[in-house]
Structure 1
């Protein structure tokens, strides 16, 4: 089975948050919680040189996701290619998925009250395109990686 993930090359990332903006624009989401986040550690000197660490956090699309079985309406689903997504028609916004996720990845859409999370822009993937965050990264710091799982 194919498994996708988004890899950050932290040496290329300038923490512009463009990935977050393009994600929201692609999903037509309101201002509020992000489906992915770019974080910077506080600036510190390492060997006399100012340094910061940049991290990118999004859904990990676990092989055996804890969020899927706890959903009381079966709105949280996993495709054959491993992508974990939410059927917005079935979601009631109970946020049991967030409680079950070790990283508390699903967030509540403030406009609908329903859970939302990164689905790797599966509609774009199905059309042969990259996720919006990867496609629009101006420094090419994000890359969609395809892994083979057993």
Structure 2
């Protein structure tokens, strides 16, 4: 069975937001709903100032607080590790929204269901890649199976130093970030 994960290299991100737009179009989300977003932080002082950009989405945690706190098991983990939501089981209590330390759950105003990135699992099941990955012109994201040593993500992870957002929370995210220099700070909740 596959063990899906994503590797994100923030140093390659230009902030164009094509990833978010592709996701919105793919899932026909209203303009106010985003499954992924970019965090911007100004660093340094003139004349040596720069902008850090951190792409953030559901981290598909091994020890997902949203899954642990869901009273109806509407939030569940697939065998391949993708954390998903069954809208038929959801009672719209929004406990998962409060439990997520990454603040990536969004409530669909039409249905009341807290939704999130699902690694485009419908397309992954057909051998395709998530919309945010295939749309990015700067190859910021790599998606694949960590259990396959020949996969692009496995090869990239073997070469790169990586870190996870809020690793101290113990959630064991399946989204990894390339470490170049210092970690980019995540603002979180």
User: Which TM-score band applies after superposition, normalised by the shorter structure?
Assistant: 0.7 to 0.9
1:76 aligns with 2:66: no
TM-score by length of 2: 0.71
1:117 counterpart residue number: 116
CA distance in 1, matches of 2:44, 2:103: 28
1:108 counterpart residue number: 107
Higher helix share: 2
CA distance in 2, matches of 1:105, 1:96: 13
CA distance in 2, matches of 1:145, 1:52: 28
Preserved CA contact (<8 Å) 1:124 1:131: yes
1:136 counterpart residue number: 135
Indicate the SS of the match to 1:19: helix
Q: Hey, which bits of structure 1, 4+ residues long, moved more than 4 A? A: none
Alignment of 1:37-52 (within 5 A): 37-42=37-42, 44-45=44-45, 48-52=47-51
TM-score by length of 1: 0.87
Deviates more, 1:105-114 or 1:5-14: 5-14
1:92 aligns with 2:91: yes
2:28 counterpart residue number: 28
CA distance in 2, matches of 1:92, 1:27: 22
Query: For this pair of structures, how many residues does the alignment match?
Result: 147
What's the offset of the Cα at 1:139?
Answer: 2.0
What's the offset of the Cα at 1:27?
Answer: 1.3
1:14 aligns with 2:14: yes
CA RMSD of superposed structures (Å): 1.8
Preserved CA contact (<8 Å) 2:37 2:57: yes
Q: Give unpaired runs (5+ residues) of structure 2.
A: 148-189
Preserved CA contact (<8 Å) 1:30 1:110: no
CA distance in 2, matches of 1:12, 1:66: 30
1:64 counterpart residue number: 63
Deviates more, 1:116-125 or 1:34-43: 34-43
Preserved CA contact (<8 Å) 2:6 2:141: yes
